[in-house]
Structure 1
Amino acid sequence: MLTPFVYGLTVVLALFVVVIGARFLLAPQAAAVGYGVPAGAGADAYLSIKGLRDLTFGLLGLALLAFVGTQAAAWFMLVVALCPLGDTLIVLRHGGTKATAFGIHFATAVVVLVDAALLFTI
C-alpha cells in the first residue's frame, strides 16, 4: 500500500524540480523572484545555470527510479536534499524572507528527506 504512494511522491518531486528548472531557463528573472532573492541585471546566465542544474537533477531522479530502482533513488534524494537546504541558507543570507527560506526551501528539504527515508523502506 505504501509503495505506490512513495513512487508517486518521488515522481512528483522530480517533475517539480524539472518544472522549476524549465522556469529558470525560460523566465529567469521571474523564477528568481519566486526563489526568494530577486536577481539583478546581467544575472540571466547564472539563473540559467541554476535552471539547467534543476532540470538535470529532476530528470536524473526519474531515470534512477525508472531504470535502477528505489535504493538508488533513495540515495539520490538523500544527497539532493542538500540543494534546498543550501537554498534556505542562500535566501536568508541574501535578504530573502524567513517565510520563503523556511516555508519553501526548508520545507522542500524535509519532504525530500522523508521521501528518501520512505524509498529506503521499500
Structure 2
Amino acid sequence: MLTFFAYGLAIVLNLFIVFIGARFLLAPQAAAAGYGVPEQHTPYLTVKGVRDLTYGLVGLALLAFAGAPAEAWFMLVVAVAPFGDTLIVLRNGGSKATAYGVHFATAITVLISAALLFAL
C-alpha cells in the first residue's frame, strides 16, 4: 500500500507541475493570477512555464527510468521551488492565503512525497 501511495503521489505532483507549466505557456495571465502575483505578461511568465514543465517531465522520467530513490532525491531538492514561490508571493504583495495555502502547502506535500519514496 505504501508503494502505491508513494508512487501515486509522485506521479500526481509531477503531472500537476506539467499542467502548471503548460498553463503558464498557454494562458500566462490566468496562471499568474493563480500564482498570486499581479497579472502582467512578462518574459518571466514564459520562463516559469518552461521551468515548471521541465521539472514535471524530469520527475516523471526519473520515476519511470531510475526508480524511487532517484525520485525521492529529486523531490527533496525540487521542494526549494515552492518554498521560493512562497517568498516571492509574500514579497510582491500577494495574498498570504495564496502564499501559504498554495505554495507553502505544495512544498510540504513535495517533502512528504520525498519521505514516502525514501521509505520504500
Tell me which interval the TM-score lies in, with the shorter structure as reference length: over 0.9
1:56 aligns to what?
Answer: 54
Q: CA deviation at 1:39?
A: 3.4
Determine helix, strand or coil for the equivalent of 1:24.
Answer: helix
CA distance in 1, matches of 2:74, 2:86: 19
The secondary structure found in structure 2 opposite 1:95 is coil
Tell me how far 1:3 sits from its aligned partner. 0.3
RMSD: 0.7
Matched pairs, number? 120
Q: Which amino acid in 2 is paired with 1:20?
A: I
Percent of pairs with identical residues = 71
Give the Cα separation in 2 of the matches to 1:32 and 1:15: 19
2:94 is equivalent to residue 100 of structure 1:
no
1:28 corresponds in structure 2 to: 28
Cα distance in 2 between the residues matched to 1:19 and 1:31: 10
Q: Which amino acid aligns with 1:72?
A: A
Deviation string 1:32-83 (CA, Å, 9 cap, x unpaired) is: 010000233x51x210110000000000000000000100000000000000
Consecutive unaligned residues in structure 1, runs of 5 or more:
none
AA aligned opposite 1:70:
A
Aligned ranges 1:54-93 → 2 under 5 Å: 54-93=52-91
Structure 1 moving runs of 4+ over 4 Å: none
One-letter code aligned to 2:59: G
- Separation of aligned partners in 2, 1:49 and 1:90: 15
In 2, Cα distance between equivalents of 1:4 and 1:101? 30
Aligned to 1:117: 115
